[in-house]
Amino acid sequence: MNRIKELREEAKISQAELASILGVTQQALSNYENGLREPDLDTINKIANYFGVSIDYLLCRTNVRNSDVIEEAIKDDPELERIWNMLNNREEVRLMFKKIADLKPADVKRILKIIEIVEEEDSASQL
């Protein structure tokens, strides 16, 4: 579980500090970071919540730290939400968003608008 170590080092906190926050021993945290032991579900949840990442990211099932970034970016714009719902069913779009999920919500909005323009141009050229 080297993601724990990466996140801890990014946050510039020591093993002792994070262990205290999580309610585990420093040795247990060291074992998690070095792959010698797996944290229990409660500890995994605490780690994910503390760093604001998904459990899937923490367990290396995805490189997307937090899938909520897209929802956060479009929550106040019904048109972008409509576009996202339409595009989200396309595998190539989901793969693209996995690569950009660490961007700020404003950047995600810009990308969605660019996609919309491209889609409109494609539709217009087919007429």
Q: Which residue has the higher pLDDT, 2 or 28?
A: 28
What single-letter amino acid sits at 43?
T
Q: What is the CATH number of the domain that holds 51?
A: 1.10.260.40
Q: Are residues 90 and 46 in the same domain?
A: no
Q: What is the pTM of this model?
A: 0.55
Residues 121, 96, single domain; the answer is: yes
Is 63 part of a structural domain of the chain? no
Q: Which residue has the higher pLDDT, 33 or 80?
A: 33
Q: Give tens-digit pLDDT for 81-124.
A: 777 777 766 667 666 766 666 677 788 788 878 888 888 888 88
